[in-house]
Amino acid sequence: MADNSQKTEDFDTDDKNNQCLSTVSWCNGVGNEALVVVESKDQCKTKGQSDEHKTLRRLMQNREAARKSRLRKKAYVQQLENSRLRLAQIEHELQQVRQQGTFVAPGVTADHGHSIVGNSNAGSVAFDMDYARWVDEHQRLINDIRSAINSQMGDNELHLLVDGVMVHYDELYKLKSIGAKADVFHILSGLWKTPAERCFMWLGGFRSSELLKIIRNHLEALTDQQLMAIFNLQHSCQQAEDALSQGMEGLQQSLSETLSSTSTGSGNVVEYMGQMALSMAKLSTLETFIHQADILRQQTLQQMRRILTAHQAARALLVINDFISRIRALNSLWSAFPKEY
């Protein structure tokens, strides 16, 4: 009995030392016995260390996330500041373009009185902005003419409205002249127009002869004298357009011959630079071609105004505007139309 008592005490002592949550419990049930939850001190210690490790890891993750958040915020603030500075620079360049017509790169000079464009992109942006404002104002003037015709306004009032549109066209040709000095290729390629409009463009604009043909087909009550005058004007426009087109073809041929006059990879830098200088001089005549084409358009409008009455001229301006508006509408429809691949 003493031995059994001693063994029992030893068992109780060891059990108390090794159990953390509970002693061994015995459940009696239908002749069966089951052992219920036993956790040792070592298991409790391991679990505590695991919880502490998870807490530290979570804390480190939170600190890292906060650090990255601060870095992103700092980068965002820096990006905003850079954008603000860039916007201020662009506004300054646009102001220079409007005042001078060209943006001359610092430290760059040009011989023979020709300025060298240092930032043609700024000039293109300035022209696009001015042209957008011109279109808005032009549409307002056209709407005034349309309202005047619908209300059967007198010829004197229509005369003033027509003259206002003619003056507004003069402003467009001035803008294009400035734009061509800044970036002649931007004006020539028609990037300031919709893609559909570019299909009809010739030297930075529409052909005067084509517009006269449209006007002649849509105006009513034209006298024989007016029809003959419009026909002669159209014929003169076609001759002038052909002459300018031949000049452009000659320029392209001359440039092609100049650029291919020496073999590539010859290594003669002096010869290469001379070739480029000659090509640049020839290329500068592009601005002249665009200017002459705009003069032809301007003079055609003025001649048309002299041939027609105030009411007929107002109708003619509406015909031109509606034709261009339909081209723009066609462009919008084409862009929105689903394409099949």
Same domain, 184 and 72: no
The band of 111, judged by pLDDT with boundaries at 50, 70 and 90, is very low
Question: Is 16 part of a structural domain of the chain?
Answer: no
Same domain, yes or no: 155 and 224 = yes
Average pLDDT value for the chain: 80
Q: Averaged over 228-257, what is the pLDDT?
A: 96
Residues 85 and 167 in one domain: no
Q: What is the number of structural domains in the chain?
A: 2
pLDDT in tens, 184-202: 999 999 999 999 999 999 9
Q: Is residue 22 in some structural domain?
A: no
Region 155-181 average pLDDT:
96
Contact (Cβ atoms closer than 8 angstroms) between residue 304 and residue 212? yes
pLDDT at 43: 58
Q: Do 324 and 187 share a structural domain?
A: yes
Average pLDDT over residues 133-144: 97
Same domain, 275 and 139: yes
What residues pair up with 104 in beta bridges, in sequence order?
117
Residue 105 domain flag: no
Write down the residue that tokens 């419009």 correspond to: 230
Residue 306 lies in a domain: yes
User: What is the pLDDT at residue 17?
Assistant: 46
In this structure, the answer to whether residues 255 and 124 fall within a common structural domain is: yes
Q: Which long-range contacts (CB under 8 A, 24 or more apart) does 141-150 make?
A: 141/165, 141/168, 142/317, 142/318, 142/321, 145/314, 145/317, 145/318, 146/318, 148/314, 149/311, 149/314, 149/315, 149/318
Structural domain harbouring 330: 120-336
87 and 234 belong to one structural domain = no
Residue 28 within a domain: no
Same domain membership, residue 144 and residue 235? yes
CA gyration radius for the chain? 42
Residue 31 falls within a domain, yes or no?
no
234 shares a domain with 129: yes
Q: Give the pLDDT of residue 23.
A: 38
Q: Are residues 151 and 252 in the same domain?
A: yes
The more confidently predicted of residues 51 and 216 is 216
Average pLDDT, integer, range 102-123: 42
pLDDT higher than 70, residue 322:
yes
Q: Looking at the structure, tell me whether residues 93 and 129 fall in a common domain.
A: no
Question: Do 309 and 229 share a structural domain?
Answer: yes
